[in-house]
Amino acid sequence: MDRGQQERVPTSLTGAVAEEIGASLAPVDAALERLYPGDPGTRQPVHTVYVPGDRFTADTVRAWGDQALAALDEHAPDAASFGAVLGMDGPLAEDVYARVRAKLEREPVEDLRVDFEDGYGHRPDAEEDETAARAARLVSDAAAHGTPATAAPWTGIRMKCMEAAVRDRGIRTLDIFLTGLMRAGGLPDGLVLTLPKVTYAEQVAAMARLLDAFEKTWGLEPGRIGFEIQIETSQSILAADGTAAVARMIQAADGRATGLHYGTFDYSACLGVPAPYQSSDHPAADHAKAVMQVAAAGTGVRLSDGSTNVLPVGPTAQVHDAWRLHHGLVRRALARAYYQGWDMHPGHLPTRYAAVFAFYREGFATAVARLRRYAERSGGDVMDEPATAKALAGHLLRGLDCGALDEAEVTGESGLDRAGVEAFASPRRGGLTVPAQ
């Protein structure tokens, strides 16, 4: 407002009052900027695949894609049969099936974690040393020479946790892996690390200090290396004093936390849930993920759901049952804004992508129409606000990133190119980046 307008409109308070209030809230403004920077605005993978360290090879990504395609060929060789399993028919089934097959050819795995924890177990030190060094060589080579068909855009390791019994082993494995990457040419853009079985914020702070020390050793930019916090214990949700421990863990990471990953089976077992009922849709799981979601909101830390241990193997009827279960769990998670999850078997890839693609395609027409009306201020039967426009734009961007939507159709229906959609999503730039599809 210019000075002339200020003089014409009568007010009661002097400028000194606003200045005093501004000064008093300056620490709050700084805290909001530091603690709640918002989503980084970069692509988020729709899943994470865990592969034990001793089974990880240069061919792992392509092998998973080929095995997933073979499962489709054997158990659902066309759109009609696949759609019948998942309750999807007509043009949607045709579209989704074609996109699933294309995805499995083009980019079968979006995020790969080489596991040195539960999936790897306890091995002689010399064996784990060599396995970690080999993982570094393979990841470095894939980053330098691979394509999305043979190398996942995001790759890293899950080390052993910070508990006393395995702490030194976990730190050594991480050091060997990161040192191997640096000696082979540097850290890849899509590097992701996972810290499992966290119970206290101090363990997260220790991980942050460890990475800080590594960065200083190699002269890297401070904060270059981030990590995911795996939520697998009751203490990570509710601390002994009754507070939400996961919120303190995010802050203890000192800006390095990139994600909160829910560990379905460890968490369920920690609460005493019987084995047959340990699932990502159990009420205990819903409670844990709801707390994670609130704690992470606005911080830039993203959420990932867990996995199912029901594998799509065996005769066709059994595979179909496992596919229906997995598909339903993924759709349920997406509706609850958990846009990432774990996949434990190549046979899970067809239903992961089918659920994701159908979710974004089913919501496309409504989302793009509402965003267009909002952008053009043309009204309609729903009065959307900026926060809703942000959510609508986010839906379209996530659909574009994973391959569920095409830029041409988004632009044609919205009148906005990708940059225009991103402007409504208002992403905070920075962080690890991987080019969109």
* CA dihedral over 24, 26, 30, 33, signed as positive or negative: positive
> Do 150 and 106 contact (CB within 8 A), yes or no?
no
Q: How far apart are CA 366 and CA 372, in angstroms?
A: 10
**Residues carrying CATH 3.20.20.360, the chain:** 47-357
pLDDT at 329 over 90: yes
Provide the token pair at 359.
Answer: 């979710």
Each residue's pLDDT tens digit, 88-121: 989 999 999 999 999 999 999 999 999 999 999 9
Q: How far apart are CA 177 and CA 295, in angstroms?
A: 30
Q: How far is CA 153 from the centre of its chain?
A: 12
pLDDT at 432 over 70: no
Confidence bin at 434 (pLDDT 50/70/90): very low
Each residue's pLDDT tens digit, 7-64: 678 889 988 999 999 999 999 999 999 999 999 989 999 999 999 999 999 999 999 9
Can you give the pLDDT at residue 8? 79
pLDDT at 430 over 50: no
Q: How far apart are CA 228 and CA 432, in angstroms?
A: 13
Taking residues 211-220, report their average pLDDT. 98
pLDDT at 321 over 60: yes
Taking residues 178-185, report their average pLDDT. 98
- The runs of H, that is alpha helices, within 260-348 are 264-270, 283-296, 316-335
* Residue 181, CA distances (Å) to 131, 133, 139, 165, 403 in order: 14, 9, 8, 27, 30
* CA dihedral over 380, 382, 386, 389, signed as positive or negative: negative
Report residue 282: phi and psi, to 5°.
-70, 145
Q: How far apart are CA 270 and CA 327, in angstroms?
A: 26
Q: What is the mean pLDDT of the chain?
A: 94
Confidence bin at 384 (pLDDT 50/70/90): low
CATH domain 47-357 topology:
TIM Barrel (3.20.20)
pLDDT at 212 over 70: yes
Can you give the pLDDT at residue 387? 86
Task: Give pTM, 2 decimals.
Answer: 0.92
